Amino acid sequence: MDAGNPTTARTIRVAVVGCGYWGPNLVRAFTELPEAEVAWVYDRDMGRARAVARQFPGIRVAAGLEQVLQDSGVDAVAVATPAHTHAALAEAILRAGKHTFVEKPLALSSADCRKLIELARSRQRILMVGHTFLFNDAVIRLQEIIARGELGEVWYLHARRLNLGQIRQDVNALWNLAPHDISIMLFLLGEFPEQVVARGYDFLGQGMEDLVTLTLEFGSGKVGIIEVSWLSPNKVRDLTVVGSRKMALYNDVSTDARLVLYDRGVDNVPPELTNFGEFQFRLRFGDVHIPHLPMREPLRVEVQHFVECVRTGKRPLTDGENGLRVVEVLEAAQQSLAENGATISLVRSVGLAA
């Protein structure tokens, strides 16, 4: 579905709601785009909004969300507030007829995601979710490598997102950190999991899990394992893909080897070539290759894509349906956590975009 009313020729005027840790990054990224300008910032903590406005002269501080929504010169609003506020804010913004960018996760329930998708459709407005890693050149290259079969058949993916801090009080580590890895895995495989199993642990005793592991089982037999924690000494952000021919490692914190391809694996040796006439496995240690990647900032690519969609009516890569798919997996994982690691079946409600 393409949104109507393309505003091709002129500068897109944006407002950013939420000026905590992430909101100022969105403000900066929008301001750096020649085709966009930030007209307003709003935070229910006025001091934070004022601090951002001081850094970016020309941006006005709104006294309330209504002031932003009533400004007919505002084309789009980006939401960078805590996850539990996303659904209500996005609904108000779409109802006011503004294009809407929402940080991940799109909402805390699939029902809310569907409501937002329907609102965006009926109002013919762009709805995009901040699955930033789908705009990361290492992830994009990895998807191309997998799609052209360079790794052979993908057997499993293993993602780790660990560090110390950013302990949330509204959502657990699953809802805060795993949206990224789930969105990456669905993008890399172009497939929706059939089953989800999750286990989590609440070491800080705040009633929500600080450490979560989840396993996604895909109909094709592929498996995705995700570990997320905000109680770990070092920042780890990596994803290993193990294929039947080659393996790949995407390390987001590496400065010079964000994506590494390993010509490594296990070869089957036919019985006639073995001493005992049985199948044997032979380990293969071949070349290691580091593809050259562009130095683009994923956040900039992401907001540029949003602005382009607003200008042209193009459907975003990370549209409402994409946000919904991730939330469906999170919901299933949450149910599994509540049922002590029970296997939860997922009914695929939407088709994956080609």
Ligand X SMILES: NC(=O)c1ccc[n+]([C@@H]2O[C@H](COP(=O)([O-])OP(=O)(O)OC[C@H]3O[C@@H](n4cnc5c(N)ncnc54)[C@H](O)[C@@H]3O)[C@@H](O)[C@H]2O)c1
State the Cα–Cα distance between residues 52 and 134, nearest whole angstrom.
27
Whichever of 81 and 172 has its CB closer to ligand X, that residue is 81
Applying CB under 6 A, what is the total number of residues that bind ligand X?
Answer: 22
Q: Contact between 48 and ligand X (CB under 6 A)?
A: yes
* Options 32, 45, 144, 202; binder of ligand X; rule CB under 6 A: 45
Whichever of 23 and 243 has its CB closer to ligand X, that residue is 23
**Among all residues, whose Cβ is closest to ligand X?**
20
User: Please, which contacts does 271-276 make with residues 24 or more away whose CB atoms are closer than 8 Å?
Assistant: none
Question: Looking at 31-39, 74-82, 110-118, 256-264, which segment touches ligand X (CB under 6 A)?
Answer: 74-82
Q: Contact between 18 and ligand X (CB under 6 A)?
A: yes
* Options 12, 38, 62, 83; binder of ligand X; rule CB under 6 A: 83
| Structure tokens belonging to residue 126 | 């762009």
Residues between 295 and 314 with contacts to ligand X, criterion CB under 6 A: none
Residues between 122 and 141 with contacts to ligand X, criterion CB under 6 A: 130, 132
* Options 38, 41, 53, 81; binder of ligand X; rule CB under 6 A: 81
* Options 12, 98, 103, 325; binder of ligand X; rule CB under 6 A: 103
Nearest to 66 by CA among 28, 95, 30, 31: 95
Q: Contact between 108 and ligand X (CB under 6 A)?
A: no
Q: Contact between 43 and ligand X (CB under 6 A)?
A: yes
Largest CA distance in the chain: 80
Residue 77 CB, shortest distance to ligand X, in Å, is 11
Question: Looking at 44-52, 186-194, 237-245, 310-318, which segment touches ligand X (CB under 6 A)?
Answer: 44-52
Q: Contact between 243 and ligand X (CB under 6 A)?
A: no
Question: Binding string, 160-199, against ligand X, x = CB under 6 A?
Answer: ----------------x-----------------------
Cα 241 versus chain centre, distance? 18
Whichever of 184 and 223 has its CB closer to ligand X, that residue is 184
For ligand X, the binding residues (CB under 6 A) are: 17-23, 42-45, 48, 80-83, 85, 103-104, 130, 132, 176
